[in-house]
């Protein structure tokens, strides 16, 4: 279930909202910024209480992509697309295909200023369908010469970020014996859980999909009921599902030393960063932590190195987190502020270059 959040401030270059002519579904494509280059951000397929919730998600996610791509050092702007389903909607194969053909038409209308990719609810195969209507799509299946899905690189970036956070809070980056709670066992959270379990972490996990409980058993992890995971004592809390999880109420009850995870926009409100800091909980900003997938997709599309070299670049996210945490401590600001200022600096430089 999506958390209903207020619409964010509108600071976007362009937003297209359509009813897919084939599928009849709500589709929003939000281009937040192309200052640093053609925007890159995935396509989310999700159920929302109301179409305005889907639009709000597209607006928030696209703005977060601008921050993500800027702090990652990419020559790419921020954008996002959302296919919104009404509660209870189940797509058959034909209507799903129609939805992504409709998305492809919408992406094509941006003339290359926005490139899409897979995201929550969508797959490489869906991107192949989008590719029938536009060339501005990345993350296509390996079998068609594409770069494949980005969950692996995203998971690597989260892992390296988590090590950086542990180093800051415990003095050691070693995950063995550390209590780590993962909320969400999808493509990224599941991969991360497998790696952490193999390295000896003490895991507590949950997911809104009860079918994921089997993974807890396979890994020897503790399963907790969704909605209670923040009450489990941990060294690091990893939000790896849908955004908006960290409400004021959850933050006030959160029993952890740090928050570090791949979920986009985990803070229900921007002030949540200050609230976490007030409780002495270290927060690694999501748009820094989860940038591995977009780094991978952007570098693969532009052929900026071999896959091994690109994965080395992804692993450097941990060093970026370290710099942001050190800067925040030195200046007595939150890590979120430090990360936003890093992004703003790059965006100002990009705007100046365009003006010149």
Q: Which residue has the tokens 């692993």?
A: 315
Residue 225 in domain: yes
Q: Please tell me whether 185 is known to bind a ligand.
A: yes
Q: Does residue 271 share a domain with residue 164? A: yes
Residue 314 lies in a domain: no
- DSSP letter, residue 144: G
Last residue of a domain, one of 144, 179, 202: 144
pLDDT band, residue 2 (cuts 50/70/90): very low
User: Across all residues in the chain, what is the average pLDDT?
Assistant: 94
pLDDT (0 to 100) of residue 1: 39
Range of the domain at 57: 14-64+77-144
Q: What distance in Å separates the CA atoms of residue 309 and residue 160, rounded to the nearest whole number?
A: 16
What is the value of pTM for the model shown? 0.88
The pLDDT-based confidence of 97 (bands split at 50, 70, 90) is very high
Distance of alpha carbon 120 from alpha carbon 39, whole angstroms: 18
Q: Is residue 92 a part of any domain in this protein?
A: yes
User: Per the domain annotation, does 4 fall within a domain?
Assistant: no
User: How many CB atoms neighbour CB 208 within 10 A?
Assistant: 14
- 4 pLDDT band (50/70/90 cuts)? low
CATH number of the domain within which 188 lies: 3.40.50.720
For 120, phi then psi, to 5°, come to -55, 125
- The residues carrying an active-site annotation are 80
Total count of domains within the chain: 2
Structure confidence at residue 7 (pLDDT): 73
Q: Are 65 and 95 in contact (CB under 8 A)?
A: no
Establish whether 244 is an annotated binding residue. no
> Are residues 156 and 133 located together in one domain of the fold?
no
pLDDT score of 345: 93
164 shares its domain with 274: yes
Question: Looking at 144, 175, 196, which one is the last position of a domain?
Answer: 144
DSSP 256: B
- 126, 144, 162 — which closes off a domain? 144
Same domain, 118 and 231: no
3-state DSSP assignment of residue 266: coil
**pLDDT tens-digit profile of 32-81?**
999 999 999 999 999 999 999 999 999 999 999 999 999 999 999 999 99
Position 113 scores a pLDDT of 98
Statement to judge: residues 90 and 177 lie in one domain = no
Euclidean distance between CA atoms 254 and 259, whole angstroms? 10
Are residues 247 and 117 part of one domain?
no
d(C-alpha 209, C-alpha 121), whole Å:
13
Average pLDDT over residues 84-110: 97
What tens digit of pLDDT does each residue of 257-303 get? 999 999 989 999 999 999 999 999 999 999 999 999 999 999 998 99
Residue 351 located in a structural domain: no
Do both 84 and 183 map to the same domain? no
pLDDT at 281: 98
Among the listed residues 97, 77, 103, 82, the one whose alpha carbon sits nearest the alpha carbon of residue 13: 77
214 and 169 assigned to the same domain: yes
Strands 78-85 and 26-33: antiparallel
Q: Report the pLDDT averaged over residues 221-246.
A: 96
Residue that is written with structure tokens 């599902």 in the block: 241
193: in domain? yes
pLDDT at residue 151 is higher than 80: yes
CA distance 102 to 107: 9
- Segment 169-198, tens digit of pLDDT: 999 999 999 999 999 999 999 999 999 999
Share of the chain above pLDDT 70, in %: 96
CA distance 329 to 252: 22
Q: Which residue bears the tokens 């926005």?
A: 114
| 282 assigned binding-site residue | no
What is the model's pLDDT at position 355? 67
Query: Any known ligand binding at 316?
Result: no
In the sheet where 282-283 sits, what is the strand order? 222-223, 202-206, 179-183, 236-239, 258-259, 282-283
190 or 1: which leads in pLDDT:
190
Residues 32 and 132 in one domain: yes
Residues 51, 167: one domain? no
pLDDT of residue 243: 84
Closest by CA to 221, choosing from 232, 15, 13, 120, is 232
Q: What percent of the chain has pLDDT over 90?
A: 88
> Does residue 182 sit in the same domain as residue 222?
yes
Contacts of 332 (CB under 8 A, 6+ apart): none
Report whether 347 belongs to an annotated binding site. Answer: no
Angle between helices 292-301 and 51-71 (to 10 degrees): 70
Residue 353: inside a domain: no
What is the SS3 assignment for 13?
Answer: coil
- CA distances in angstroms from 328 to 63, 232, 310, listed in the order given: 22, 27, 28
Structure tokens at 203: 């895991």
Q: With beta carbons less than 8 A apart as the criterion, state whether 108 and 137 touch.
A: no
For residue 2, tell me if it sits in a domain: no
Domain identity same for 183 and 118: no
Q: What is the CATH number of the domain that holds 47?
A: 3.40.50.10860
């Amino acid at each position: 279930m999506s958390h209903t959040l207020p619409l964010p401030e509108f600071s976007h270059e362009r937003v297209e909202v359509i009813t897919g002519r084939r599928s009849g579904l709500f589709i929003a494509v939000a281009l937040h910024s192309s200052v640093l280059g053609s925007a890159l951000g995935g396509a989310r397929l999700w159920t929302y209480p109301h179409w305005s919730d889907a639009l709000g998600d597209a607006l928030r996610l696209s703005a977060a992509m601008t921050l993500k791509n800027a702090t990652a050092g990419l020559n790419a702007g921020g954008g996002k697309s959302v296919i919104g389903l009404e509660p209870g909607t189940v797509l058959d194969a034909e209507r799903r295909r129609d939805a992504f053909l409709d998305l492809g038409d919408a992406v094509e209308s941006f003339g290359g200023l926005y490139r899409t990719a897979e995201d929550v609810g969508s797959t490489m195969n869906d991107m192949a369908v989008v590719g029938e209507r536009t060339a501005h799509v990345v993350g296509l299946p390996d079998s068609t010469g594409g770069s494949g899905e980005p969950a692996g690189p995203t998971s690597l970036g989260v892992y390296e970020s988590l090590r950086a956070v542990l180093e800051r809070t415990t003095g050691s980056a070693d995950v063995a014996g550390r209590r780590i709670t993962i909320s969400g066992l999808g493509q990224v959270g599941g991969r991360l859980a497998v790696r952490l379990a193999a390295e000896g972490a003490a895991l507590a996990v949950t997911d809104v999909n009860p079918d994921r409980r089997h993974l807890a058993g396979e890994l020897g992890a503790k399963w907790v009921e969704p909605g209670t995971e923040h009450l489990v004592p941990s060294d690091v809390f990893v939000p790896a599902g849908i955004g908006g999880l960290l409400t004021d109420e959850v933050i006030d009850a959160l029993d952890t030393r740090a928050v570090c995870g791949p979920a986009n926009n985990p803070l229900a409100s921007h002030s949540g960063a200050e609230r976490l800091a007030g409780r002495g909980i270290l927060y690694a900003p999501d748009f820094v932590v989860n940038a591995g997938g977009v780094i991978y997709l952007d570098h693969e599309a532009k052929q900026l190195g071999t896959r091994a070299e690109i994965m080395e670049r992804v692993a450097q996210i941990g060093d970026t987190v370290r710099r942001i945490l050190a800067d925040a401590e030195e200046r007595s600001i939150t890590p979120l502020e430090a990360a936003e200022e890093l992004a703003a600096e790059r965006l100002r430089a990009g705007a100046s270059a365009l003006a010149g």
